Structure 1
């Protein structure tokens, strides 16, 4: 009987471990919705613009604001559309995204203006009030506020008791 219980325990541990490795959680991040018509303000210690393709690199204490959202990072590369306007922001180094209700941090992030999507990758930590979630990847639909966290998702919920 002990051998059967041990076997069942090992099998359940293996299955649970496999499920945890490929975990995916859907989250609502209404605070990260953005107005695509809102202007984008960029601040940095240094700006370098490429004469060949017009790409821009913002370095040092970079802060990007659009509506109620603020993104800060050590480095941000900006790719522009041929028709004008921003196509994509690629941020790296101490990336922090803040809205009135949520904060998220990661090693890097890509904000695709055309797709209205923000992907944060590497050591992602999301805080929604007393709730904390961590994962390898966070993808946010900036139009709907819907989000998906993938890869070793961990959730810490308050117990409700004091």
Structure 2
């Protein structure tokens, strides 16, 4: 039991250490996790949450039917993978920026790079701008979007659609 408690503490500390998950204050915010089931593997450095998973920290929210958290050899959070019919990730990159919201059957959040991959029925919204397609990749800090109609794990061809609002 002590080892599981230590792993949970290490996992929570790794979420708040290193690169922030969102705004600078997000890294200092408490982490709230809700799920129906949790499977921890200390040796592999993973935690798998199953069943109506909802993870929140500051402006960041990640939901899915299943969310796997991976940490690197230094014990820092390296990647979060959410899957489900409509996995969801939201984050406010900066207080002056609009909220970024993304959906997909699979969402991979690369913490160090502050990069999100939205896979299969992917959708990304920031302010009034929207992007839809089979695969979307978004770099939070650089505000760069890469989109494809096809990709690994994508069912069929899903054409790219986007709506950009005019500058005010």
Q: Does 1:154 align with 2:161?
A: yes
Question: What TM-score, normalized to structure 1?
Answer: 0.65
Bigger Cα Rg: 1
Instruction: State TM-score, norm by structure 2.
Output: 0.63
Shift of the 43–118 alpha-carbon distance from structure 1 to 2, 3 Å rule, reads: same
Greater relative contact order (CA < 8 Å, ≥ 6 in sequence): 1
Change in Cα spacing, 1:150 to 1:48, as seen in structure 2 (3 Å) is same
Q: CA deviation at 1:108?
A: 0.2
**Partner residue, 1:95:** 87
SS of structure 2 residue aligned to 1:38: helix
Q: Residues 146 and 65 of structure 1: is their aligned pair in 2 closer, same or farther, counting only changes over 3 Å?
A: farther
What does 1:2-151 correspond to in 2, within 5 Å? 34-35=22-23, 38-39=27-28, 41=31, 42-93=33-84, 94-99=86-91, 101-129=99-127, 131-151=129-149
Note the residue ranges of structure 2 that are not aligned, 5 or more in a row: 1-20, 92-97, 150-158
Say what the alpha-carbon RMSD is for the aligned residues: 2.6
Count of aligned pairs between the two proteins: 126
Taking a change above 3 Å as real, the CA distance of residues 113 and 127 of structure 1, as seen in their structure-2 partners, is closer
Find the aligned partners of 1:45 and 1:92 in 2 and give their Cα distance.
15
